[in-house]
Amino acid sequence: MSDNKNIEQKVLALKYRPKRFEDLVGQSTISQTLSLALDSNRLSHAYLFSGLRGSGKTSTARIMAKALLCSNGPTSRPCEVCENCLSANTNRHLDIIEMDAASNRGIDDIKDLIEHTKYKPSSARFKVFIIDEVHMLTTQAFNALLKTLEEPPGFVKFILATTDALKLPATILSRTQHFRFNKIADGDVIHHLSHILNEENIDFETPALEILTRSGQGSLRDTLTLLDQAIIFSKGKITTIAVVDMLGLIEPKLMDKIFEVILKKEDIIDLVKELENYEISQVCDEMTIYLKQKMLEKNAKFDLLLFDRFFRILSDAKHLLALNSDGGFVLILTLSKMIEATNIKTIEDIISEVEQVPLKIEEKKVDIEKRIDTKAQEEIKAEEIKIEEEPNLNFSLDSIDSIPSVEPIKTLEEELPEKEFPKEEIVEEKHEEVFVDDGFSTPFDEVAYEPILEPQRSIEPTIQANIEEKPASVESIEEIKEEIQEIKKEEKIELAKENDPNKELYSKLTKKVFERDYELGELFEKNFIYKSFEDKKLEIVSYALGDERKFLLKHYGVIKIFIYDIFGNDIDIEFVKAEEKSEDLAKKSNFQSKEEKPAALEDNSEDSGSMIEDIEIGSGCVADMHKISNPTPSQQELQMNDILNSPMLNRAKELFDIKKITVKTKT
């Protein structure tokens, strides 16, 4: 037993383990909450402690168990004298069952634990189960523990401890009171270390304790382990140099030398050789810590811009090291970048330099303006010289002979009254030469081309030119006169039609068809043109073809009712097929495309017998077009041509080899 006690005394983490809530380091919030719960007797049946390693979770669980089992308890200040307290301090109490879930993680282990909960405590008032590293339990073990954890017997208390609470199921978290242990502050750790060293009568340097605390990274157990090691290495006196050598860190003097070289932009070869003895990632960490301290001290050697650039460079170095890059290369690159970072100017310096730079752009603008002025003056002088060199425009017609380009015009004018041109091609070629624009201008162009370029003054020159090019016969002149008379007659007829009052009734008919069906109205307006309404007879010109004709045939009954409503029930309706020469009607309609011919209404669809059936049955627009009380011979001829030229009849001719067809009228 004496040997075990000696070993326990040598290990500081066990020797100075907290035994009361007041002894907990850096967890004042948790110790206060648990103390108040014990004093007010507001206890939960299950607690969950989570946090960083070495932050006091297991120690707090043991203190809580001792406080629950103390003979004077439950109390936040155990007496440390009763048998329960003494047994708890030596970890020998029968009613405190501590279980390591990392090694007992199966469902069978949890079954044994549940079996123990059925029995009352042996000597104390509670039976406390401490499950350390509870996140290592299997899913089946967690599920087996749920019911017991939710509703344990009144004498059972559970205290769960873990370093990773995120791995616990939500069902476990919801059944416990969760206490999160924070990272212990560096000041609290240093104070605790100095207290232990004073108790142990060991001399120390405060910077050495700071280095140990920083290396412990907030874990008190890790820091105490390093302190044990430092006490042994330093031979009873803990110094900064001894701690740095023991941990393999960079000495503060060397760190000052590194940044002195960087700020003064000195050679880094010797420095790189010295730093290669250390681990490069640790060098980057030490440099970061050094910069953070200087930033807090507001050192005059560094400004905020330099701190920002240095931190960025060091983070890039850590990233390169994470990619398994060569340590020496990363060190050289990092130091070189940090030296270069000191050369970069601030925005204020750049702005001030830009303001001091002479404005070269304005000088260039002045030069360009001067060049433009000189060029403009030269051009003005050149134009004045050209004006002075131009000859006088008062010239005689005899001077035309000196210009070869105008010579054909001269000969043409002289030879016209004397000679006849045997070939039209010669006259045409000469005539074309008059109108050729070769881009060359002379002072005589206005005189030579004046009667030709202004044909609007009189029509006689153009008529003479046409007569010269092609002699017109008397018959052609008479034909032209007849065509002019016909055009005049047609214009008169059109004027008379425009003044026709019945045309307004037809426009009402079109609107009524549009109101009934817009598509039908479009086809009606496109294919049916008003011709005349005389002696109770309405004549309509039809341009219907193909699918449009079929559509109009289908809705003819509706159109017929509208016609009778507007023009009267006692009228005759006659649809006149558009003739090939009636181009004026096609232009009026504005619906005929360039490819369509305003010819007789034909059906080019595969249903070749539709025309004959419509004529015989008398249905549809085109059928009624032929169903006239007194058809004229021309209309009868049109009907016969439609029947004889129908696709169905042509197909029958081919099949039966018909040589003669006789058409009889209906009686």
Looking at residue 402, the DSSP 8-state letter turns out to be: G
pLDDT in tens, 25-59: 989 999 999 999 999 989 999 999 999 998 999 99
Q: What is the CATH number of domain 252-348?
A: 1.20.272
Per the DSSP assignment, residues forming a β-bridge with 99 are: 131
Q: What is the 3-state secondary structure (H, E, C) of 244-303?
A: HHHHCCCCHHHHHHHHHHHHHCCCCHHHHHHHCCCCHHHHHHHHHHHHHHHHHHCCCCCC
Using DSSP, state whether 605 is helix, strand or coil. Answer: coil
Between CA 444 and CA 440 the distance in angstroms is 11
Structure confidence at residue 477 (pLDDT): 67
Count the neighbouring beta carbons within 10 Å of the beta carbon of residue 126.
18
Between CA 137 and CA 101 the distance in angstroms is 6
Distance from chain centroid for Cα 504:
59
- Residue 548: which H helix or E strand, with range? helix 546-554
Segments making up each domain of the chain, as ranges:
2-182, 187-247, 252-348, 397-469, 506-656
CB neighbours of 8 closer than 8 A, spacing ≥ 6? Answer: 14, 15
Looking at residue 178, the DSSP 8-state letter turns out to be: E
CATH superfamily of 2-182: P-loop containing nucleotide triphosphate hydrolases (3.40.50.300)
pLDDT in tens, 593-642: 433 433 333 444 334 334 333 433 344 434 344 444 455 555 566 667 77
Distance from chain centroid for Cα 191:
57
Between CA 401 and CA 408 the distance in angstroms is 10
CB neighbours of 57 closer than 8 A, spacing ≥ 6? Answer: 49, 50, 51, 161, 162, 163, 181
Kindly give the parts of the chain with pLDDT less than 70.
1-10, 346, 357-366, 384-478, 481, 485-486, 488-499, 579-639, 664-667
Q: What is the CATH number of domain 187-247?
A: 1.10.8.60
